[in-house]
Amino acid sequence: MTDASSHVARGMVIVGAGEAGARAAMTLREAGYSGTVTLIGEERRLPYERPPLSKAAMTAVEEPAAATILSEAQLADHGIRHVPGVLVTGIDRSGHTVLCDDRTRIPYAKLLLTTGARPRRLNLPGAGPDNVLYLRDFSDALAMRTRLQPGRRLVVIGGGFIGLEIAGSALARGCSVTVVEMAPRILGRAVPAAVAATVAAAHEAAGIRIIAGVGLARIEREGVAEVVVLADGTRLVCDAIIAGIGAIPETALAERAGLTIENGIRVDERLVTDDADILAAGDCCSFPHPLFGGRRLRLEAWRNAQDQGRHAARVMLGATAAFDAVPWFWSDQHDQTLQIAGLPDEGDTVVTRDLGGTTLHFHLRDGRLVGASAFGPIGKVAREIRLAEMLIARRAHPPETALADPLVKLKALLAAESLAA
Ligand SMILES: Cc1cc2nc3c(=O)[nH]c(=O)nc-3n(C[C@H](O)[C@H](O)[C@H](O)COP(=O)(O)OP(=O)(O)OC[C@H]3O[C@@H](n4cnc5c(N)ncnc54)[C@H](O)[C@@H]3O)c2cc1C
């Protein structure tokens, strides 16, 4: 690590006080940086976790509090200057200064963009801000809770992770729920079809209606109710509509600053943009992944945001390593967990292992393990996926027969890899 003192005068500036930004700020301090650290965020809150928004924050009986990542005391203890409620509107790259909507200008030595993503809006006749809800921030979650009262009829548009989690939470709150997915099946390409089918079955068994493979025509008003009209003429009368149809990386600031955008702010393997003093991390950036032949990825995942935030902070202080953490994602669906390590869609072969009522899927490419996925009780899934993740990190080529055999411990396969290395 280089001497950080050269950055003291201008300091480190982080734009976006979410998961990646908060972790980056802490890491700068943990790595011994003693200059100013400024964490600027548009939201008027302390940095908080988003995953609970579609889970505990939705199902809690009493109005929940945001799950803060950094408290006032932690910010003070670490000398992190948090600037809430301020939107950064411009970057003066030659002057090394960010411009804020409160007319302040903050100079930087290194700048990290952790601006996240925003929900994709539904483009449909009749859809507007008054009748379609979206979930990204804590205020959205509070607004959604008040609409999801027992007995209400909810239509969720989009059968992705967040839409399905909201569907499960709304059911738990006593709503009747229909999920509409335009694609032939829920959960899209990132989740193998067999796993998606198990998730769909769990939702249907719980009482959620899933309609897949049908497009949307329009939204109509019928008295005090809304009607989601499908392309085949089906009319879904409801009291609330929530759209979970994906997220768009928040790149406007980077774009205005002339940085390259390629499905997010384009960074290299160290998370540096095409300006050597500006980095990006988390949901807002796309990066080449060394484990997958440099394939450019943009991940919307909690652990990735944490890991990239921390990595970017170290690079701001002079580290040169590539970011190569194995992608990992989890989603809670009813009382079970869906976990994915690596990139299942990189695989050309699937091998399954029976975990006693839960199926673990291994995804191999030319014999190399590139992904693993499972849906089931956390006690069965988490440890196996963790071990699979370690095998993926080592670019392991485990024998298919061993992967399929539950009597062969993944830990033993890992030990064999270590010996071979
Ligand atoms: C409802 C929900 C449930 C989720 N559940 C899971 C889950 O179960 N598992 C999982 O792995 N992941 C989950 N995620 C994804 C995970 O939360 C995100 O990947 C993570 O929060 C991304 O962190 P980030 O720091 O990149 O962006 P964010 O946490 O979105 O933070 C970005 C921040 O930057 C601010 N900002 C943007 N532009 C500016 C600007 N110009 N000036 C100042 N501030 C700005 C934004 O207001 C925001 O506060 C979920 C996400 C949501 C929304």
CATH number for position 49 = 3.50.50.60
> What is the structure's pLDDT at 1?
35
Per the structure, the complete domain to which residue 64 belongs is given by 4-118+248-316
Tokens of 330: 């989890």
Domain shared by 63 and 155, yes or no: no
Cα torsion angle, 220, 225, 230, 235, sign: negative
Q: Which of 245, 260, 282 is the last residue of a domain?
A: 245
Q: Which of 185, 216, 245 is the last residue of a domain?
A: 245
Residue type, 159: G
Q: How far is CA 123 from CA 8, 120, 126, 354, in A?
A: 47, 9, 9, 42
Domain shared by 364 and 383, yes or no: yes
* Residue 237 lies inside a defined structural domain of this protein: yes
For residue 114, the CA-to-ligand 1 centroid distance in Å is 9
Domain shared by 241 and 133, yes or no: yes
> What is the structure's pLDDT at 42?
98
* Residue 324 lies inside a defined structural domain of this protein: no
Pick the atom of ligand 1 nearest to 53's CA.
Answer: 1
Domain tally for the chain?
3
Buried b / exposed e over 260-283, threshold 16 CB at 10 Å, is ebeebbbbeebbbbebeebbbbbb
Domain shared by 254 and 356, yes or no: no
Residue in 271, 300, 310 to alter for ligand 1 test, most ligand atoms within 8 A of Cβ: 300
Domain shared by 85 and 167, yes or no: no
Q: Which of 193, 222, 245 is the last residue of a domain?
A: 245
CA distance 185 to 203: 13
Domain shared by 130 and 241, yes or no: yes
* Residue 330 lies inside a defined structural domain of this protein: no
Domain shared by 20 and 87, yes or no: yes
* Residue 386 lies inside a defined structural domain of this protein: yes
* Residue 367 lies inside a defined structural domain of this protein: yes
Domain shared by 234 and 254, yes or no: no
CA 391 to chain centre: 23
Pick the atom of ligand 1 nearest to 89's CA.
Answer: 41
> What is the structure's pLDDT at 15?
98
Tell me which residues have their CB closer than 6 angstroms to ligand 1. Answer: 15-21, 40-43, 50-51, 53-54, 87-88, 114-116, 135-136, 162, 250, 253, 282-284, 300-303, 305, 329-331
> What is the structure's pLDDT at 9?
58
Domain shared by 84 and 26, yes or no: yes
* Residue 233 lies inside a defined structural domain of this protein: yes
* Residue 404 lies inside a defined structural domain of this protein: yes
CA distance 264 to 286: 5
Domain shared by 235 and 151, yes or no: yes
Tens place of pLDDT per residue across the chain (421 aa): 333 333 335 899 999 999 999 999 999 999 999 999 999 999 999 999 999 999 999 999 999 999 999 999 999 999 999 999 999 999 999 999 999 999 999 999 999 999 999 999 999 999 999 999 999 999 999 999 999 999 999 999 999 999 999 999 999 999 999 999 999 999 987 788 999 999 999 999 999 999 999 999 999 999 999 999 999 999 999 999 999 999 999 999 999 999 999 999 999 999 999 999 999 999 999 999 999 999 999 999 999 999 999 999 999 999 999 999 999 999 999 889 999 999 999 999 999 999 999 999 999 999 999 999 999 999 999 999 999 999 999 999 999 999 999 999 999 999 988 777 6
* Three-class SS state of 20: helix
How many Cβ atoms are within 10 Å of 215's Cβ, its own excluded? 10
Half-sphere exposure of 14 (CA within 13 A, CB side): 33
For residue 67, the CA-to-ligand 1 centroid distance in Å is 13
Domain shared by 416 and 342, yes or no: yes
Q: Which of 219, 59, 242 is nearest to 134 (CA)?
A: 242
Domain shared by 55 and 109, yes or no: yes
Tokens of 401: 């027969």
